[in-house]
Chain A
Amino acid sequence: MGARDADERGRASRAVSRPAVVLPGFALVSLVGGLFPSFSVGANVVVLVAGGALFWLGLSGRDSTSGPLRRVSPPRMSAAAGWWLLPVLVLTAVELTNLALGSTHDHPTLSGLADPLIEGYPARVAAYFGWLAAYWGLARL
């Protein structure tokens, strides 16, 4: 009985993680989220609710990207992986420095630079969809 229940739960959760199910759901959330401008209550609610739900799913394993969908990453990385520290550290340093300096016109943060680009509805929808698609990519690792 236990094994059959686990198998059924696995099938159900794998169905949920299929693109035909996931992508329309992400599109719907994006279309709704794009309606709300930055700093609005609606935008905060969409991000907190959608993000929180996916965060919980990602930790609970119910998005079921395990088994055949989960790619195996190498157990150890070569020293050459350290090259990735260059963009990560520089981006982080510049971002934190400008944040500490007040995120002004003269000291812009990434989000400050991105704001004019995602002001319009189509751009905000695309940004939401990209953010949600990034979750799906992460959850499948």
Chain B
Amino acid sequence: MSSLSRLLAIAAFGSMFLVALGLEWVARRPGSRIPPFTALCGLVMRYRVGPFPVGRVALLGFWWWLGWHFLAR
């Protein structure tokens, strides 16, 4: 039997994934002011501090960490 806290965590995760899907759907409608998730990622990827591509390092690093966290650890 799952505890209440487990159910709440699963509900929180599930609902936020649904919210993200909903935002993406809204973003792709004509005239939407909400940018698609890819546009946000593109903005982060282009963020630099001087010559250093901070955004690119952060996002690629996060991607690498996700792979390690879900597939290897």
B39 within 8 Å of A (CB atoms): yes
Q: State the Cβ distance, B28 to closest chain A Cβ, in Å.
A: 13
Number of chain A interface residues as a range:
35 or more
Of A5-13, A16-24, A74-82, the stretch lying at the interface with chain B is A74-82
Q: State the Cβ distance, A79 to closest chain B Cβ, in Å.
A: 8
| A124 & B13 in contact (Cβ 8 Å cutoff) | no
A91 to B9 CA separation, bound complex (whole angstroms): 10
Q: Is the interface of B mostly helix, strand, loop or mixed?
A: helix
* Interfacial residues of chain A within 60-117, with CB under 8 A of chain B in the complex: 71-74, 77-81, 83-84, 86-87, 90-91, 94, 98, 105-108, 110-111, 113-114
Contact (A83, B9) CB under 8 Å given A43-B72, A71-B42: no
A35 to B67 CA separation, bound complex (whole angstroms): 15
| A38 & B16 in contact (Cβ 8 Å cutoff) | no
| B72 & A58 in contact (Cβ 8 Å cutoff) | no
| A131 & B40 in contact (Cβ 8 Å cutoff) | no
A25 within 8 Å of B (CB atoms): no
Q: State the Cβ distance, B31 to closest chain A Cβ, in Å.
A: 11
A55 within 8 Å of B (CB atoms): yes
Contact (A111, B9) CB under 8 Å given A59-B56, A73-B39, A87-B19: no
Q: State the Cβ distance, A101 to closest chain B Cβ, in Å.
A: 9
27 contacts between A and B (CB under 8 A): A39-B72, A39-B73, A46-B71, A47-B71, A47-B72, A55-B60, A73-B38, A73-B39, A74-B39, A78-B35, A80-B33, A80-B35, A83-B34, A87-B16, A90-B12, A105-B2, A106-B5, A111-B73, A113-B10, A118-B70, A124-B71, A127-B70, A127-B71, A131-B70, A137-B38, A138-B63, A141-B38
Q: Which residues of B contact A (CB under 8 A)?
A: 2-3, 5-6, 9-10, 12-13, 16-17, 19-20, 23, 32-35, 37-43, 45-46, 53, 56-57, 59-61, 63-64, 66-73
